[in-house]
Structure 1
Amino acid sequence: MIKHLYQKSLKLAAHKSSKTYLAIVSFVESSFFPIPPDVMIAPMVIAKKEDYLKIFLIATIFSTLGGFLGYFIGLSFSDIAMRVIEFYGYENKVDDLKDNFSIGDGRYIWIATLFLAGFTPLPFKVFTITSGMISFNLFLFVFICLISRGLRFFIVSYLLFKFGDSFNKFMETEAAKWFTIFGILIVAIFGLIYLLFK
């Protein structure tokens, strides 16, 4: 099923209404859909490089709006929320994070976790839903979604604009690892700043 959805998303990237489909995929990926918008961003930017900023903005805005849906599912529909979380195999991790949320620096840990989920290959929808389940501050939630998703999609769009298919090949093999490393470094830097000024 995942492979079929992946191929379908690739085909939508070549459609004349590809920007509309990118908005839809970006929206639903933040709440339940398994295929990330990057699958569509890559061929769209390569095909029309001058639109890379527009493509990045569409993915960022609609991914953040989709995060609202994930948040609302977690806040209001606990049964559906747990089914989605279980589908991705994160029920134990989410239970641990929920337990630690209100203890000590639990809120700061959640901020870092949500950022990493938006920036790295972690299933973002699991963490938007969990944010609703723990009633995480909505303003902070939106801010983190915009920053993490925006940074990720800008980097992908800009590097595809600059390097084209060579960066696309790099994405297919190495991007997950480097986005994870870069995301952890960002969190570590902000964590260090927090400790220094605490």
Structure 2
Amino acid sequence: MTETEAQNLRDDYLNRLDAAIAELPWRVANELRRGIAEELDGLDATAVRERIAQLGDPAKIAEAAGDEAASAPPAPIIVVAPAPAPLPVFWAKPAMVDTKWFAIVGAIALGFGTFVFPIGGWVIGMALVTSSRFWRRWEKAVAILLPLPVCLLVLLVSFLGVLWQGPVPSSGSGASNPLLPSGIALWHTSILLAFYTIPIGAAWLLWRLRGREAPLR
């Protein structure tokens, strides 16, 4: 027999097999068809006829495959557990600058650190206050810059007082008005007032903390 005859035998058998396994599940039918086609491939006509005789009727092969598929245990279903949801924000530990106690310490350092450590205490307190997020920017600016307008106001008053007092008279030509303080006295007064205004700004910051339990965003 020729190769053409062998191919005709294979095609005829596989066509009958396709019709028989049409009702089977796709996976079962596909594997069965592929396996039989591989067994018949490359054989001559005689060998193909013998192998077809061994395989038997395609209808019986499909019936046996259907029974086997029905009795097989179902494939396990793999359930992928979802990733755990992130913890709510309120469980996260806040940064140190986002705590209320940090803001309180900063206000106290600004107001009273100046008296303990005149320049450095004020700088440290200012750094703590500006780092905290419990105040708005304008509140920080008011507390920190409050001594500046006080100092400027007193200096302006002192300047006007000096102008009002006039030039210091020469020796023997009279004395200045004793009711008006000297320019040096007013200068010292402006410095002291600005110095003691710092705790007022710190107290105002503490007052603004009323009812604030979370940092401002």
Q: TM-score, normalised by structure 1?
A: 0.29
Larger Rg: 2
The higher relative CO (CA closer than 8 Å, separation ≥ 6) is in 1
- Normalized per residue, which structure has more helix? 1
Q: TM-score, normalised by structure 2?
A: 0.27
